[in-house]
Chains A and B, each alone.
Chain A
């Protein structure tokens, strides 16, 4: 049996909040009940049925056929099951997920995977700023699980990240891994300026280098560490290319010495 499907009829007339459309929230509801669920974010009322055609299916997987930049909070607080979006999504996709798998085949807006605590989030296209990061005032960004971005990511990816795995195949914006507390961030393409800005702890791999390294990271030399082997094996379960980037000699930079200074940035050593 295929997944329960929401087919987008037309571009949304306003930003919509789809956080209620998760497998655990919909399980047991009838199609008419689901169609009546409110998703509007302005004073103009809008329900699921106004925007989507519904096709019955297994609630273990929810499919959105058709995406739009105004589809916000897709898969937010997802705890189990799977959600797949054939298209783009708006802000806060997968925010505070605790489990399950969220697949976005297009692009995702800002704050995708922010506050992620578990599960796997896959973005086929690009991600906006503060991927896996934190909201203003929050103590930590993602604290578990894994995010994989097939394209590029905006500024401050992994801001205040505390645990988990954040993998970006393409380029990353400025200040990737800013204020990191712990966890692992790997960037396949070039990172923007000042990666690891004010990071306390954690690991950043810059497979494609950075536009500008902060002077508060100190060169510790090149090594082939056992920990890098473990990281390579683990990362390869999600991305063979980024996993392979952990193999071979890596130059270790310790920092950010403007903060606690116990983080590290690895770059490929020649």
Chain B
């Protein structure tokens, strides 16, 4: 496709196509970092793709006590959905079932401002069955819900941004599954250091990349057969004979800049690892530029 290379890794002259999303951020705290992480991990489970999960969510970063509203260890979580109504529904369900239930937890807004607000504690307070207490401190309003280990404190609302982007991606291609995975893991590790961006799939990696549509009626997505190594001889494959494994990283960001920064960090990490121990080639998924308004050209992001 191209002759672009970075430290011997071929970079396709193509672009990742991404879409506008609605997003919010939460700060989850607990008495220990272990339990803050547990609540955040549970809340962001089964949130890999809006195709089947309703939202995409992940852990942005861990926070030390000095960085959280209540001075306890915490975790910042990002949540993305395609509509305000769906994001509100997912937020309420996930905080209600996964954070409220986690020992010692508390939950706060994780965005300073946004175009709109979502109900957080304001939606969950009814669990307290009339014993809930509102506490307004300055311009922030909190709900206190009596629970069996004390109180669950939850900020009343959380800002929502309409400037979020979902679907930034990299396709990492290698000669062997283990080297491809090593390159992809290195990329995810580098991307995790980028603020305001998450990689929602397991460990940040998706091995079953999809295309839009299917031969089967009712299925909105199906396997990206052009990148399946076992179909190389059977279809008009997008990969050559030297490629035996393709892994994808999907990136959601609170801003387009965050997605670009994460992709740039990932590309550099892949290039730094080199083709011997890592990937032979990196590409990106798009729909011809007709569906998403955000286009991330790899040649503009490569190191």
| Interface set of A (CB-CB < 8 Å, partner B) | 163, 165, 182, 184, 201, 203, 223, 225-227, 229-231, 233-234, 262, 264
Q: How far is the CA of A223 from the CA of B144 in the complex (A)?
A: 14
Answer yes or no: B150 CB below 8 A from chain A CBs. Answer: yes
CB <8 Å contact, B134 and A182: yes
Q: How far is the CA of A258 from the CA of B137 in the complex (A)?
A: 28
Q: How far is the CA of A262 from the CA of B135 in the complex (A)?
A: 13
Query: How many A-B residue contacts, CB cutoff 8 Å?
Result: 43
- Residues of A contacting B134 in the complex (Cβ-Cβ under 8 angstroms): 182
Q: How far is the CA of A223 from the CA of B131 in the complex (A)?
A: 17
CB <8 Å contact, B135 and A184: yes
Q: How far is the CA of A226 from the CA of B151 in the complex (A)?
A: 7
Closest chain-B Cβ to A240's Cβ sits at a distance in Å of 15
- Residues of B contacting A229 in the complex (Cβ-Cβ under 8 angstroms): 70-72
Which of A225, A226, A230, A262 is within 8 Å of B137, CB to CB?
A: A230
Name the residue on B nearest A144 (C-beta): B136
Which of A233, A234, A264 is within 8 Å of B71, CB to CB?
A: A233
Q: How far is the CA of A224 from the CA of B151 in the complex (A)?
A: 10
CB <8 Å contact, A226 and B133: no
9 closest A-B pairs by beta carbon, nearest first, are A234-B137, A226-B153, A229-B70, A226-B106, A227-B144, A226-B70, A227-B153, A225-B151, A229-B71
Which of A165, A203, A234, A262 is within 8 Å of B131, CB to CB?
A: A262
Q: How far is the CA of A201 from the CA of B135 in the complex (A)?
A: 11
CB <8 Å contact, B137 and A231: yes
Size bracket of the B interface: 10 to 19
- Provide a sorted-by-A list of 19 A–B residue pairs whose CB atoms are within 8 angstroms: A201-B133, A203-B135, A225-B144, A225-B150, A226-B72, A226-B106, A226-B151, A226-B153, A227-B151, A227-B153, A229-B72, A230-B69, A230-B135, A231-B135, A233-B69, A233-B70, A233-B71, A234-B137, A234-B138
Please report whether the interface of chain B is mostly helix, strand, loop or mixed according to DSSP: strand
Please report whether the interface of chain A is mostly helix, strand, loop or mixed according to DSSP: mixed
Closest chain-A Cβ to B104's Cβ sits at a distance in Å of 8
Q: How far is the CA of A60 from the CA of B235 in the complex (A)?
A: 76
Could you tell me which residues of chain B, from 110 to 134, have a CB within 8 Å of some CB in chain A? 131, 133-134
Q: How far is the CA of A90 from the CA of B179 in the complex (A)?
A: 81
Closest chain-A Cβ to B274's Cβ sits at a distance in Å of 48
Closest chain-B Cβ to A70's Cβ sits at a distance in Å of 35
Closest chain-B Cβ to A230's Cβ sits at a distance in Å of 6
Answer yes or no: B142 CB below 8 A from chain A CBs. Answer: yes
CB <8 Å contact, B70 and A230: yes
Q: How far is the CA of A201 from the CA of B71 in the complex (A)?
A: 26
Closest chain-B Cβ to A43's Cβ sits at a distance in Å of 45
- Residues of A contacting B153 in the complex (Cβ-Cβ under 8 angstroms): 225-227, 230
Closest chain-B Cβ to A77's Cβ sits at a distance in Å of 22
Q: How far is the CA of A214 from the CA of B283 in the complex (A)?
A: 73
- Residues of A contacting B29 in the complex (Cβ-Cβ under 8 angstroms): 226
CB <8 Å contact, A262 and B133: yes
Which of B131, B133, B142, B150 is within 8 Å of A230, CB to CB?
A: B142
- Residues of B contacting A223 in the complex (Cβ-Cβ under 8 angstroms): 150
Name the residue on A nearest B131 (C-beta): A262
Name the residue on B nearest A183 (C-beta): B136
Closest chain-A Cβ to B247's Cβ sits at a distance in Å of 41
Q: How far is the CA of A201 from the CA of B131 in the complex (A)?
A: 10
Could you tell me which residues of chain B, from 134 to 152, have a CB within 8 Å of some CB in chain A? 134-138, 142, 144, 150-151
- Residues of A contacting B72 in the complex (Cβ-Cβ under 8 angstroms): 226, 229
Q: How far is the CA of A165 from the CA of B137 in the complex (A)?
A: 8
Q: How far is the CA of A226 from the CA of B142 in the complex (A)?
A: 11
Closest chain-B Cβ to A233's Cβ sits at a distance in Å of 7
Which of A165, A227, A262 is within 8 Å of B142, CB to CB?
A: A227
